[in-house]
Amino acid sequence: MTQANIKNPLFCGIDIGSRTGKIVLIDNSGNLLHKNIQSTIASATKTYHSLLETIPQELKTSIKAAAVTGYGRESVAKETQLSATEITCHFLGVSFLHPEIRTIIDIGGQDSKVITISDEGRIKDFIMNDRCAAGTGRFIEVMAEKIGFSIGDFADIDVSDVEPLKINSTCTVFAESEVISMVSRDIPAKVIISSIARMVALNTISMAKKIHPQAPVFMSGGVSRLKPVRFHLGRLLALNIGADINSQIMGALGAAVFARKEAQ
């Protein structure tokens, strides 16, 4: 993507995750002009180009700078001008729309991150788990399939009126065995969903407590769409967990904000 010399420049951010790719376009005033989310396809490069194809033709010639982040950013480094870490981009994206936030919880397809923000609006600390699949979006997807639910079905279930059972293992393989055992014992699906969500929340909280999360808390990433997980995170932290319609694209938005800053 080449740099343009234009009066009303636009800035592009792309987040290539392990499960989905996201793209965002903002203008110089920070208005969100375009966004798109796609399932990650054969390679990071193909996902990158597929996302670019979603940009309306009339906007393409106004793009001044672009940045990429996410799981696949190194694979497409030669394709774009700028790249930035997921920590930086989720911080920039959330802070751009919600400057009051002091803790960000991002649970993605393959990893999870917690970021704390100082009162001055800078990253204070962060912690990341990219070594264990348990507690990530992919883990939830697999567990949901075991009880005959899609991730979309899982997302909208209200679990506030049931008590979860304890899943003892934090290992994906053994946790899967426990879920299968629940199914065989005819445990209601809603209870199993609540139990899975609580396990994910516990894994995240055990990590988050190491850096002392403070309110307000905001959840970004794909798992932010899952109400059972947000419910248990809020219950365990005794805090309200914020999220909005742009939670899943915060990494891409942060990359666009990063591109704008670098271009200026």
Q: Are 84 and 168 part of one and the same domain?
A: no
**pLDDT band at residue 248 using 50, 70 and 90 as cut-offs:** very high
Q: Among candidates 40, 7, 3, 4, which has minimal Cα distance to 23?
A: 40
**Within-domain flag for 202:** yes
In tens, the pLDDT along 130-179 reads 666 667 788 888 888 888 888 888 999 999 999 999 987 667 778 888 99
**Residue percentage of the chain with pLDDT more than 70:** 95
pLDDT for 146: 87
**Within-domain flag for 184:** yes
pLDDT for 172: 72
Q: How many residues does the chain have?
A: 264
CA distance 264 to 246: 25
- Which CATH number belongs to the domain containing residue 57 in this structure? 3.30.420.40
- For tokens 């393989």, what's the residue? 173
Output the CA torsion sign for 91, 129, 76, 50.
negative
**Within-domain flag for 1:** no
**Within-domain flag for 190:** yes
Q: Are 14 and 39 part of one and the same domain?
A: yes
Q: Are 181 and 165 part of one and the same domain?
A: yes
Q: Are 114 and 244 part of one and the same domain?
A: yes
Q: Which of 56-65, 130-139, 183-192 has the lowest mean pLDDT?
A: 130-139
Q: Are 152 and 237 part of one and the same domain?
A: yes
Q: Are 143 and 216 part of one and the same domain?
A: yes
Q: CA dist 218 to 43, 163, 239, 250, Å? A: 30, 25, 10, 11
Q: Are 222 and 136 part of one and the same domain?
A: yes
Q: Are 195 and 71 part of one and the same domain?
A: no
pLDDT for 100: 97
Residue of 168 and 235 predicted with greater confidence? 235
Cβ(138)–Cβ(200) below 8 Å: no
State mean pLDDT over 185-200: 94
Q: Are 32 and 145 part of one and the same domain?
A: no
- Please state the domain count of the chain: 2
**pLDDT band at residue 99 using 50, 70 and 90 as cut-offs:** very high
**Within-domain flag for 80:** yes
pLDDT for 142: 86
In tens, the pLDDT along 194-227 reads 999 999 999 899 889 999 999 999 999 989 999 9
Residue 4 has pLDDT above 60, yes or no: no
The CB density around residue 150, as the number of other CB atoms within 10 Å, is 10
Residue 105 has pLDDT above 60, yes or no: yes
Residue 184 has pLDDT above 50, yes or no: yes
CA distance 255 to 90: 8
**pLDDT band at residue 2 using 50, 70 and 90 as cut-offs:** very low
Residue 5 has pLDDT above 70, yes or no: no
**Is the backbone peptide bond immediately before 99 cis, with ω within 30 degrees of 0?**
no
pLDDT for 215: 96
State mean pLDDT over 23-46: 93
**Within-domain flag for 110:** yes
Residue 241 has pLDDT above 60, yes or no: yes
**pLDDT band at residue 110 using 50, 70 and 90 as cut-offs:** confident
pLDDT for 258: 98
**Within-domain flag for 5:** no
Domain with 86, as residue range(s), is 10-100+249-263
**Within-domain flag for 3:** no
Q: Are 170 and 128 part of one and the same domain?
A: yes
Q: Are 244 and 255 part of one and the same domain?
A: no
Q: Are 87 and 185 part of one and the same domain?
A: no
Q: Among candidates 19, 24, 22, which has minimal Cα distance to 41?
A: 19
